[in-house]
Amino acid sequence: MRIPKRARAAMAASLLFFTSQALFASDTLTIEARQLPVSYPLEATLEAVNQSTIAAQTPGTVKEIRFDVNDQVEKGTLLIRIDDTQQRAAVMQAQANLAQARAQNDDAQALLSRNSRLFQQGTLSQGELDSTKARAKSAAATVNAAQAALQQANEQLAYTRVSAPYSGIVKARHVEIGETVAPGTPLMTGLSLQRLRAVADVPQRLAPHTITKENVSIAINGQALTPQSVTVFPYADPHHRSVRLRANLPATQPTQQPRLMPGMWATVIITQGQRPAIVVPESAVIRRSELSAVYIQYNGKARLRQVRVGNPQANQQLEILSGLSAGDVIYLDGYGQLAADATHPQ
């Protein structure tokens, strides 16, 4: 469709306001149909792969809190210390019980050895030997039980020192110094910014197709990322009829810019197949308000033709949805040709 002369003049006047001299565009491009990937952008949210709430595993009173919200911690760093008076007493009691059980077991095993020799000499009955064997087995079992009790007491003592399970940031603190806690009481919530993932809901129409990390990309603040792995849930949400997708991002560094954080918006792009399309350089397209046009070469002359522009492509290219066909010849410098056309009308 040709642009009316009045519209062409208005576009030229707006350009000449900033142009000091007429320009003549000579470079042209012959349009060729090319294949573009069929992409489906989906809204996604970033979340931390490692995000958890640490809870108390032993009762006691909070004696020390070493970190607060937004503090950086390294893996294994002591976060909270709980009073360990009861736990240390339990360890000492378990150690004493183990020592007693071992002494009784040693006595029972020695008696069994002596009675076994007497039985072979014929001076001890079978019933007395069987009774001695039973007492020896019971003494050995008591030692095993005492060892298990000591191990459990040591674990309870270790639980009084709460350490970071991974390197990250403290997100929330749920207790204060002096507060009494019981097993299961939340103590602190943290997350790691080094491992993030984008979570999106895939529509039902796309779910049956193969979705892997090879045909999935992630866009965040204009930055394109390739996921390390992609997980598609094996079931659909019964309310939204969609399938949950998780795409793990490459590991990030604390100094990386822009800094990625859980809760940020992202776009998961699923590519499936290809389609024919017309693509031209951005420099060839003239825009004014909602009007877009390119100069084509027609019968040796430059003619302005209106086009409908689609999504931007890589390398400063624009997709043309309508107005151009394969074989058309366009001028690469659209604004330059517009200035030339206004100065030297054909």
Report the candidate in 305, 301, 345, 302 with the shortest Cα–Cα distance to residue 325.
Answer: 305
Q: Report d(CA 74, CA 196) in Å as an integer.
A: 17
Omega of the bond leading into 276 within 30 degrees of 0 (cis): no
Tokens 């006047």 sit on residue: 13
Beta strands in 174-332, from DSSP E residues, in sequence order: 180-181, 186-191, 196-203, 216-220, 223-225, 229-236, 242-248, 265-281, 286-288, 291-298, 301-306, 308-313, 317-322, 329-331
Angle between helix 5-16 and helix 334-343 axes, rounded to 10 deg:
110
* pLDDT per residue as tens digits for the range 236-281: 888 888 999 999 998 875 555 567 889 999 999 998 888 899 999 9
Q: What is the pLDDT of residue 123?
A: 86
pLDDT at 1 over 50: no
Average pLDDT, the chain: 87
**What is the architecture, at CATH level 2, of domain 84-158?**
Orthogonal Bundle (1.10)
β-pairing verdict for 186-191 and 180-181: unpaired
Of residues 137 and 2, more confidence is placed in: 137
- pTM value is 0.63
Q: How much of the chain, in percent, has pLDDT values that exceed 70?
A: 90
What kind of fold does domain 51-82+160-191 have according to CATH? Answer: OB fold (Dihydrolipoamide Acetyltransferase, E2P) (2.40.50)
* pLDDT per residue as tens digits for the range 58-108: 999 999 999 999 999 999 999 999 999 999 999 999 999 999 999 999 999
When pLDDT is averaged across residues 296-304 and rounded to a whole number, the result is: 87
**How is the chain split into domains, by residue range?**
5-36+275-343, 41-50+192-274, 51-82+160-191, 84-158
Q: Report d(CA 243, CA 208) in Å as an integer.
A: 10
- Confidence bin at 344 (pLDDT 50/70/90): low
The CATH H-level (homologous superfamily) assignment of domain 41-50+192-274 is Efflux pump adaptor protein, beta barrel domain (2.40.30.170)
CATH number for the region 5-36+275-343 comes to 2.40.420.20
Q: Report d(CA 222, CA 256) in Å as an integer.
A: 15
* pLDDT per residue as tens digits for the range 21-43: 333 445 889 999 888 888 889 99
Q: Report d(CA 21, CA 8) in Å as an integer.
A: 18
Q: What is the pLDDT of residue 253?
A: 59
Q: What is the pLDDT of residue 19?
A: 35
Element housing 149 (H / E)? helix 126-158
- Confidence bin at 15 (pLDDT 50/70/90): very low
